[in-house]
Structure 1
Amino acid sequence: MAKITALILAKNEERNMEDCIRSVSFTDEVLVIDDFSTDHTKQIAENMGARVIQHAMAGDWGGQQTFAIQNATHEWVLFIDADERISEPLAKEIREAVEKGEEKAYWILRQNKFHHNHATHGVLRPDFVDRLFPAKGSYVTGYVHPTIVTPYPNAKLKNVMYHYTYDNWDQYLNKLNNYTRLAAEKYKDQHKSCHFVKDIMLRPLWAFIKVYILNGGFLDGKIGWILSVNHYFYTMNKYVKLYYLYKDNGHL
């Protein structure tokens, strides 16, 4: 019978680690790749029965995921972030899919959740993510929003995984700042052009219209407005940072 290694990349995730590992208890191994956490992430994971390898991410999320795949014990891997949870129906469906013996890359429907607010449209609308596939021949590319590369045909699972997005606004804004920096650096490495009017003035406006109106962010009320405006600033800031990387290496 095929076996599954659940892969969790973590850094200072002590608040999430126990619940995350518990949600993948149906797998045959839990492997945590710990980016040298300074809290109790490593101890909690080991106490929950996980195997922990400490390995520096160094800003390369795709490289860290590839490292995780390479260190998995079993033939199938299931990626889950520390702030995500596998639902019981999905756990059963994953087991059934693997036991069929068909080598496929399975995409999982992710529902985004807050602990105290509700938003299901716009920026936080449900999305499919590639998370379950055979380890052999698979790897990940990209620093920000990396791409999983596998030689297997794609398929979708029906049941959902829950993603608890942010605990507070500081965490949210720190992530926005970090992701815009990494995106700008990635674009520069790819020699992506950046024009002030098109990319800094107009592109953010289109990003807002898309998530707030076309993707229904307005249906989420106040939080929908806030997230859509922040998406405007996320888009603007990554191009502002790219613009000034070209202009004077990021210095003002």
Structure 2
Amino acid sequence: MERHKITVITPFHDAHGQTIEATLKSLHWADEILVIDDESSARYRPVLEKYTSSIFTRKLDTFSKQWTYAMDRAKHEWIFFVASDEVVSPELAVEIQRALESPVEDGFVIRRRDFMFGKWIKHGGFSHKHMRLFRADKGYWSNDAVHETVLLPEGSTTRTLDNVVYHFSYVEMSATVEKYTKYAKLEAGQIIEERGYAKQTRVSLTEMCKVTLQMFYYGMKESLGLIVFKGGFLDGTYGLYMCMEKGFYYFLVHAQVFSYLYKRRHAAEITSILEEHGVPPELYLNKIEQPEED
């Protein structure tokens, strides 16, 4: 039976240079592979071109905008998102092709199995399942700078597939911190925009205290929740580390917001000190990254 055609969209940047070929190899069965390239180094171009001619370069601003940009250029009626540090299992590839022979669903949820720091992580809420495969005319991305999700119209039907995508991430601890720092800037920028901080002429002490409390509360809440309620401790030392680092991420998000507000509140004092010592004020008073307007 002839199946519906599918476009697999894969985002790529330099950090995933060592896994991208394994990712693309696992997608050989797709009707189209579309790579959205976040201005990666030229040395990876031959690898991308070996597997597809559908390569679009666009600098990342927010993830939802990046994925929407890619979807607008997809040729086929079904979309499947696969990250460039993920490998589609052969079993999942077969299951997807069978599911698209006569689908009654509008989308399919895909399970992910995480390999982090050299071991499989089973607990702590890290082996997620997400809507990854969906009809192009139905699915759209939530307007989130980070942790974006695919949404379907009310009344849409979905099903969770049995097989998995393998996720090979967090190779080095330093790379994890770098990744979280990048994501935290984007999410903090969205908070600043949503709360209207950039438009406020004066930052109150009350607001500063509020953000300070959020900085510690959300970080501790996330870490303890993953360790205790999601069983993160069952994965041993690395499991505890991942849970603590996820809490650090939420601490970092609100720390970025706090830093932005502090600099706004004390801009005159900071400018005076820097000018006195011949240092450009914009070194410290630069704006945090915020989602750009369409």
- Same fold flag (TM > 0.5): yes
Gaps of 5+ in 2: 197-206, 266-283, 286-294
**Matched letter for residue 132 of structure 1:** L
How big is the alpha-carbon RMSD for the aligned residues of Structure 1 and Structure 2? 2.1
Taking the aligned partners of 1:105 and 1:56, their CA distance within structure 2 comes to: 28
Matched, 1:207 2:211: no
Match of 2:274 in 1: none
Match of 2:199 in 1: none
**Matched letter for residue 173 of structure 2:** W
Matched, 1:40 2:43: yes
- The 1:203/1:53 distance shift into structure 2, 3 A limit, reads closer
- The 1:199/1:115 distance shift into structure 2, 3 A limit, reads closer
Match of 2:185 in 1: 181
Taking the aligned partners of 2:100 and 2:20, their CA distance within structure 1 comes to: 25
Taking the aligned partners of 2:110 and 2:123, their CA distance within structure 1 comes to: 18
Match of 1:129 in 2: 130
Gaps of 5+ in 1: none
Residue 15 of structure 1: SS of its match in structure 2? Answer: coil
Taking the aligned partners of 1:191 and 1:157, their CA distance within structure 2 comes to: 38
**Matched letter for residue 162 of structure 1:** Y
Checking the alignment, whether the CA contact within 8 Å between 2:222 and 2:250 is kept in structure 1 is: yes
Aligned residue-pair number: 250
Taking the aligned partners of 1:101 and 1:117, their CA distance within structure 2 comes to: 36
Taking the aligned partners of 1:197 and 1:246, their CA distance within structure 2 comes to: 11
* CA displacement at 1:160 relative to structure 2: 1.0
1:168 equivalent among 168, 172, 175: 172
CA displacement 1:1-38 (0-9 Å, x = unmatched): 41011111111233122110111111111111112211
- The 1:38/1:205 distance shift into structure 2, 3 A limit, reads same
Match of 1:159 in 2: 163
* CA displacement at 1:205 relative to structure 2: 1.8
Matched, 1:17 2:20: yes
Is the radius of gyration larger for structure 1 or structure 2? 2
Taking the aligned partners of 1:233 and 1:56, their CA distance within structure 2 comes to: 26
TM-score normalised over the length of structure 2: 0.78
* CA displacement at 1:248 relative to structure 2: 2.3
Residue 5 of structure 1: SS of its match in structure 2? Answer: strand
Taking the aligned partners of 1:182 and 1:197, their CA distance within structure 2 comes to: 19
- The 1:205/1:14 distance shift into structure 2, 3 A limit, reads closer
Question: 155-164 or 140-149, which moves further after superposition?
Answer: 140-149
Question: 108-117 or 86-95, which moves further after superposition?
Answer: 108-117
Residue 37 of structure 1: SS of its match in structure 2? Answer: coil
Matched, 1:246 2:261: yes
Taking the aligned partners of 1:129 and 1:5, their CA distance within structure 2 comes to: 17
* CA displacement at 1:137 relative to structure 2: 4.2
